Amino acid sequence: MESKRLQLLEEEDKQGRKIARLGFNASSLLQKSKLGFLNVTSYCRLAHELRVSCMQRKKVQIQSSDPSALASDRFNLILADTNSDRLFTVNDVKVGGSKYGIINLHGLQTPTLRVHMHENLYFTNRKVNAVSWASLNHLDSHILLCLMGIAETPGCATLLPASLFVSSHPAGDRPGMLCSFRIPGAWSCAWSLNIQANNCFSTGLSRRVLVTSVVTGHRQSFGTSSDVLAQQFAITAPLLFNGCRSGEIFAIDLRCRNQGKGWKATRLFHDSAVTSVQILQEEQCLMASDMAGTIKLWDLRTTKCIRQYEGHVNEYAHLPLHVHEEEGIVVAVGQDCYTRIWSLHDAQLLRTIPSPHPTSKADIPSVAFSSRLGGFRGAPGLLMAIRQDLYCFSYS
């Protein structure tokens, strides 16, 4: 496996010459399209393949007020905000515990690729099970964290204001207060932008889903038959989608205010534990991945699988799935530490990216893809965090 990874890395470095030698370039693609040799579907697929193939790995320089910490703290996960101008990071500290930071992506421009890490002295010795950006005061004003309990300290869901991180908050935004809710054993979480659950968040527990109002503290409880490992709110439809360890995916109708019958809406089934659910923009389709490495696109109207994406590797890990409709791609990191990119529209595997470091269960990369890395004027690209390093794969 290691020799295969090194061989793929070597091919990655030669990729520009390899593509040119095969005659697979933008001008030939446009010419074939104009001459009618390619239909719209084929042209779009080949254009995606060309752009994704041309993404080259470049190391990002991270600046911080504590350079020594950058050399020792390891990235656990990264999560981009809605506008992709900030990156929330969870870093494992060498002495034990975790540290949180926000990376400002505005400096992510070639050729320098230089960003700044804004840190906060908020540490925890508990495992972070789930993370989500939360829009309480304004868009992405807070970070929602689900922390596991340890010894006599119970688990909790914490709303961490982004304004606590020095210089990372908008001008005029006053530092907010850190809010914690005693919710033991949460596997997943999601923030609601749905008017039926305004200023609310959900947590997936063992055989239960909680929907909590941040303003009033009121909770709705929905009993389930399995642990809830993945969640996402729909924005238009009054639904909360949940993926379970049993393989079931179901939706909760947010208009039902009690735990009685009638709250369970759509039901779908995978053969293994569901680790991620992603609702597409028009809310007619849902994409899900599971611990068997299966990625499926479901039609919510017919409750049938309409597409399957082959090649993902997973046996037991809780791995996320990234869907980007604007670019028409699906991104997932497997347990084998390879990052795979598929075409959303025809499930074609466009690229397999090896990890820059030797494959290890402890070194599965965390990635973030955006059509506008660094904000409104940014370019499409992929960010990959592994160990102490951050890499950028940007479109040429």
- C-alpha distances (whole Å) from 21 to each of 12, 24, 57, 154, 384 are 15, 8, 20, 60, 28
Interval 336-360: pLDDT, tens = 999 999 999 889 898 999 999 998 8
**How many other C-beta atoms are found inside a 10 Å radius of the C-beta of residue 42?**
14
Who's near 372: CB < 8 A, 6+ residues apart?
83, 84, 378, 379, 380
Q: Give the pairing type, strands 114-124 and 61-63.
A: parallel
- Residue 94 pLDDT: 77
- Show the tokens assigned to 142: 């807070």
Q: What is the pLDDT of residues 228-263, one digit of tens each?
A: 999 999 999 999 999 999 999 999 998 886 655 668
pTM over 0.95, yes/no? no
The answer to whether 104 and 116 are in contact (CB under 8 A) is yes
The DSSP code sequence of 167-184 is T-S-TT------EEE--T
Q: Which residues of the chain have pLDDT under 50?
A: 17-18, 20-22, 168-169
